[in-house]
Amino acid sequence: MNIKLTAVNSKYIHSNLAVYSLKAMAASKGFDVDILEFTINQQEDTILRAIYETKPDVIAFSVYIWNVKMIEEIIDDLADVLSNAEIWLGGPEVTYRSREIMEKHPNITGVMRGEGEKIFVNLCRYWNSDKTEAALKDIPGITYRTEEGIFSNPDESVMDMDEIPFAYEHVNLPEHRIFYYESSRGCPFGCTYCLSSVEKGVRFRSIDLVKRELKYFIDNKAPQVKFVDRTFNCDRARTIKLWEFIKENDNGITNFHFETGAEILNDSEIELLNSMRPGLIQLECGVQSLNKETLKAIHRSMDFERLSENVMKIKKGGNIHIHLDLIAGLPFEDLESFKRSFNGVYELRPAQLQLGFLKVLSGSPMAFESDEYGCRYKKMPPYEVLKTKWLSYDDVILLKKVEEVFEVHYNSGQFTNTMEKLQQHFEDGFSMYEKLASFYDEKGYFEASHSRIRRYEILLEFIKENNLDPDEFKESILTDIYLRENLKNRPAWAPSLKEYDGRIRDFYKREAEEPEYLTSYKNYDWKQLRSMTHIEVFDKRAYLFDYRERNPLDHSAKMMVIWEEQ
């Protein structure tokens, strides 16, 4: 039986944990299935052809909000060219509307609802036997089609986490991929916008099993492992044991990403985090809103004062990338309230601040409460909010524009020094980015793509437009430029370094003979050293940018003072 588990990922570097887990579960019961992985950036014809050429008997797709539209189009064409193949779907985007999507697409054979491992094994037994409709009737957790119509069986029971085989054990881990891993399912919290709130309680994989599997990633030098546990640190003792294990087995390469509740971290956990190799751990922490009425409505408890204290303690260690999240469009949060939420979180200066928009997911409590809040959202994925009782569509448009410039000028990490200096001339962070968004809008800059150098030129225009002296910002802009890359074509507006040319040349000649600063560069002549690094002079102080020695958190070059003139 030729069975293909098919994933359409959002990016090439991503892997699909669901299909790997189903394959591992099937293999543990003696069933051989193959995985096909694509991305949403590929042409649909390319995906269709690749699937067709494998001549499958069964094609099972893993469906999410980012790929459902593409998959819906592909399956209609697949049914025409592979008329005898069964088409099955699974995943969060179809679990709570299985009948609806089967009515929309009459060529879908069935849908696996919810947790899929046991369901998929039972279907493998069905596919490899003398198939009868009666057999399908006995498989929990599926919605399926017969000549008589569409039928839904009772839900399948959830699994003991230790019964699920390790998803990647028999997989050659490709380079430059992110590997998703789960050590638990469920969430202790009940946020109404999240599908994790549907399942009550948390199930954990045994800690010894998790350690063995993490060691596999470490031994195979996986670049990044992202835990999909909804709140990884909900069990403090377990969290500390796993973080200690990761620290003790650090290979200097693998990075681990966790979704955590920052406000529930204690000093022992923070002390452990601060002792890690820089870049070993990343933390993503959901804040969502600072509006107490909003937090109450979405059933989210959050002590922002405690969260802020913990974030600042972690940042003080200088070794942990922290990513904080906000959601626009939640109940009781109008534009002014969201501005306050933004400014409160922005003051913490996380490595990234995700300005997201509410997505009303099928099956979530928010989907059932949306009318109560006057929440109108897009009818098609990703079901993003359009307006609420408190937030107009005009407000949403404004926030979208702010989000766009914020992604470029803050989250990219390419303008850090300049934006920090510019902040001093504005009342607060939101005001600055709102005005920058208005400037982009007026100039038509949202309508075109821009090179990074052009972005800096636009920023200089914005500075001048606000009656500030562009010359005062050229130092910070040049610092930002050369921290990121060794730019070969110097910007036309940058001050000339010609008067320092002899001194710069002498510096590199000394370094080639007796290195003091560039000790990691062996067997290079002075011209090669000059080409591989950069020297910039600000106010008679010379800075060397070393691109071999980069900050593991933001990947900026090491910046050193090499001389000062009195």
Mean pLDDT of 26-54: 96
Give the phi and the psi of residue 466 in degrees, each rounded to 5: -95, 20
- Looking at the chain, the whole-number percentage of residues with pLDDT higher than 70 is 99
Question: To the nearest whole number, what is the mean pLDDT of the chain?
Answer: 95
pLDDT tens figures, 112-171 = 999 999 999 999 999 999 888 779 999 999 999 999 999 999 999 999 999 999 999 877
The bridge status of strand 376-377 relative to strand 352-357 is unpaired
Q: Measure the CA–CA gap between 297 and 301, rounded to whole angstroms.
A: 10
Instruction: Give residue 530's pLDDT.
Output: 96
Instruction: Give residue 152's pLDDT.
Output: 97
Half-sphere exposure of 82 (CA within 13 A, CB side): 23
Contact 493, 474 (CB under 8 A): yes
Q: How confident is the model at residue 395 (pLDDT cuts 50, 70, 90)?
A: very high
Instruction: Give residue 172's pLDDT.
Output: 73
Element (H, E) at 258: strand 255-260
Whose tokens are 């002075």? That residue is 526
The bridge status of strand 385-387 relative to strand 376-377 is antiparallel
Written in H, E and C, the secondary structure of 194-241 is CHHHCCEEEEECCHHHHHHHHHHHHHCCCCEEEECCCCHHHCHHHHHH
Q: Measure the CA–CA gap between 129 and 120, rounded to whole angstroms.
A: 14
Whose tokens are 């529930």? That residue is 264
Amino acid at the residue 339: K
Instruction: Give residue 174's pLDDT.
Output: 64
Contact 483, 505 (CB under 8 A): no
Tokens of 535: 């020297």
Give the phi and the psi of residue 362 in degrees, each rounded to 5: -60, 130
Q: Measure the CA–CA gap between 429 and 26, rounded to whole angstroms.
A: 52
Instruction: Give residue 301's pLDDT.
Output: 86
Q: Measure the CA–CA gap between 342 and 239, rounded to whole angstroms.
A: 29
CA-based nearest residue to 220, from 252, 173, 162: 173
Contact 456, 491 (CB under 8 A): yes
Q: How confident is the model at residue 16 (pLDDT cuts 50, 70, 90)?
A: very high
Half-sphere exposure of 139 (CA within 13 A, CB side): 26
| pLDDT(310) > 90 | yes
Mean pLDDT of 13-19: 91
Instruction: Give residue 392's pLDDT.
Output: 98
Least confident piece of the model among 11-20, 40-49, 258-267, 317-326: 11-20
Least confident piece of the model among 12-16, 205-209, 422-426: 12-16
Tokens of 177: 């991929």
Q: Measure the CA–CA gap between 123 and 157, rounded to whole angstroms.
A: 15
CA-based nearest residue to 418, from 490, 473, 349, 350: 473
Tokens of 462: 């914005």
Q: Measure the CA–CA gap between 143 and 98, rounded to whole angstroms.
A: 6
Whose tokens are 């596999």? That residue is 216
Q: Measure the CA–CA gap between 504 and 388, rounded to whole angstroms.
A: 60
CA-based nearest residue to 228, from 200, 252, 196, 253: 196
CA-based nearest residue to 535, from 555, 519, 511: 511
pLDDT tens figures, 176-208 = 688 999 999 998 888 999 988 777 789 999 999
Q: Helix H segments across 407-470? A: 416-423, 429-443, 452-465
Look at residue 376 and give its three-state secondary structure: strand
pLDDT tens figures, 240-254 = 999 999 999 999 999
Rg, C-alpha atoms of the chain: 27
- DSSP category for residue 384: B
